Amino acid sequence: MIDRAAGWLLPPRCVLCGGPGQRPGFDLCAACEADLPVVPCPCRRCGLPRLDGTRAGTAPGTRCGRCQLLELPYERCLVAWAYEFPVTRLVQALKYQGALANARVFGLRLAAMAALEPQAAQTLVVPMPLHPRRLAERGFNQSREIARVIARRLEQPLVEPALRRVRATTHQVGLSRSARLGNLHGAFMADANVVAGRRVILVDDVVTTGSTATEAAATLVAAGATRVEIWAVARALD
């Protein structure tokens, strides 16, 4: 209630064009929101466009032709947009310039996409962790800022210690999917005392090849999580 009241007292401003946002508290105008690229006919399981021959109305647990070939430890990949301009600009501004207003836009959008779905009582919202060294360099974890908004809006607990990054890795840019998976092997550690028997919403900014999501989700499942979902701002389509 306080959040909504503040949105009326301090009108939102669009993070793209600078014009009025959408009341009570969405910092993106309707015109700019309509222009953001979405994933066409996304698969509920992997978040990528469905291949030819699959139907958009298939059951939620049904994999598309692409992800049937993969062993995915997560049950769902919910993404707001495709990782294309100007979404790339918004994500990078949050990540490298500290544009925290963008995190609010991202979190509200993801929460709204799932707001009508029943939320299990044993649900945890967990941000994709940064290695302590990377966190010290950046000063904040962009995934944590997004997850904080989601947790508040869905009234679910935000539990950062559930998953930790215990091994620093080289940058993933330019690596193949198999190389990325090898680079990330053993990079995460989950607290079984926290995640065992729980559904985990793992929040990240961008899913590219899915290697980071796969390794992190597998770590959570190994620690006893009953279901892991990846919620990300954007999905790379290439």
Residue 155 phi, psi (nearest 5): 60, 50
Q: What is the pLDDT of residue 171?
A: 61
Domain identity same for 118 and 228: yes
**pLDDT tens string 40-98:** 999 999 999 987 545 544 454 467 877 878 889 999 999 999 999 999 999 999 999 99
When divided into structural domains, the chain yields a total of 2
User: Confidence class of residue 5 from pLDDT cuts 50, 70 and 90?
Assistant: low
Domain identity same for 26 and 98: no
Verdict on whether the full-model pTM lies above 0.95: no
Task: Return d(Cα 219, Cα 10) in angstroms, integer.
Answer: 42
Average the pLDDT over 193-219 and give the result.
Answer: 96
Domain identity same for 154 and 204: yes
- The percent of residues above 90 in pLDDT, for the chain, comes to 72
Tell me if 210 sits within 8 A of 238, measured CB to CB: no
Whether residue 161 is predicted with pLDDT greater than 90 in this model: the reply is: yes
Domain identity same for 190 and 96: yes
Domain identity same for 14 and 105: no
Domain identity same for 72 and 190: yes
Domain identity same for 60 and 106: yes
Tell me if 14 sits within 8 A of 20, measured CB to CB: yes
Residue 72 phi, psi (nearest 5): -95, 125
Domain identity same for 134 and 45: yes
Query: Taking Cα atoms as reference points, which of 223, 224, 221 lies closest to residue 75?
Result: 221
Mean pLDDT of the chain: 88
- 191: exposed, middle or buried (Cβ count in 10 Å: 0-12, 13-18, 19+): middle
* Structural domain span for residue 24: 1-35
Helix (H, G, I), strand (E, B) or coil at 77: strand
Average the pLDDT over 142-148 and give the result.
Answer: 98
